[in-house]
Amino acid sequence: MGSLLPLSLFFWLVAACLGGGSARGRRAERVQGPRGSPPTPSGTSAPFWVRLSPEFAAVPPGGSVWLNCSSNCPLPEEPRLRTRLRLGQKRTGPGWVSYQLLDVRAWSSDVRCFVTCAGETREATSRITAYKRPRSVILDPPVLEDGKYTLRCHVTHVFPVGFLVVTLRRGGRVIHSESLERYTGLDLANVTLTYLWHAGPRDHWQPVTCHARFNLDGLIVRSSSAPVTLALLVRSPESKVLASTSIAALVGILLAVGAAYLYKRRTTTQTQS
């Protein structure tokens, strides 16, 4: 008896640690808004639930996704799907209907499914996120001029730009961070961040990196450039005049967002079923 208590305590602790693990933390945080109706008893009829799965889906912009609306209603009416997305194919089975949603371009879309069972209507919601991880994050070799480094970082083929944060770091230290929330375009884009950095003597010969990060409603996506060492590269005299005029007009930061080409990839569109 005396030895059983610590043992059960040990198991309890293990169970608590496993159950409260943080591996699912980020995903779990997302699951707040959309969810199916809970199976609650309603008057005389049997508990009735509606589910739309997956609750969260991430697709590349222009891609497609299948959502499955199911319920435990023995004789459901035809479910109704409410969405701004374009509907594609549909598959039906006992108690479920699976819908294909095409050409997802909005960074976030809510889809709702309504099922009516014996006069009672319940609904479930899914959220679809469209994003494209940068194809590349490239930091140009820094150029030193008048004691300042020009740091230029290119983030290519990225979406949605408005949720991107580009950060320049020297080692663990943040040199500069820029949130691009004012860009609301609905296409893939190339982003160039230019920053004039007044480096201290201890910064020379240190590796500098550029980081692109999304926070899409809790879904975190990160990409980084290869490190570039701060060498004492000085501009040639001809390019100097032009460079300093353009820099003077920029107040330190230049941000260029290239309009992306029309993103037609019907053929490569993902159609998981």
91 or 198, CB closer to ligand NAG?
A: 91
68 or 116, CB closer to ligand NAG?
A: 68
Q: Which residues contact 150 (CB under 8 A, 6 or more apart)?
A: 142, 143, 194, 195, 196, 197, 243, 247
Whether the Cβ atoms of residue 207 and residue 193 lie closer than 8 Å to each other = no
Decide if residue 37 touches ligand NAG (CB under 6 A): no
Joined together, the tokens standing for residue 121 give: 């209507």
Out of 68, 83, 179, 192, point to the residue binding ligand NAG (CB under 6 A). 68
Dihedrals phi, psi of 160, to nearest 5 degrees: -85, 130
Decide if residue 156 touches ligand NAG (CB under 6 A): yes
Whether the Cβ atoms of residue 111 and residue 85 lie closer than 8 Å to each other = yes
Residue 47: cis peptide before it, omega within 30 degrees of 0: no
Decide if residue 192 touches ligand NAG (CB under 6 A): no
Q: Taking CB positions, which residue lies at the least distance from ligand NAG?
A: 258
Using the contact rule CB under 6 A, the part of the chain among 111-119, 122-130, 143-151, 257-265 near ligand NAG is 257-265
Decide if residue 98 touches ligand NAG (CB under 6 A): yes
Decide if residue 190 touches ligand NAG (CB under 6 A): yes
Using the contact rule CB under 6 A, the part of the chain among 1-9, 18-26, 121-129, 259-267 near ligand NAG is 259-267
- CA-CA distance, 192 to 244, in Å (whole number)? 18
Tally of residues, the chain: 273
Query: Which spans of this chain sit near ligand NAG (rule: CB under 6 A)?
Result: 68, 70, 91, 93, 96, 98, 156, 190, 258-261
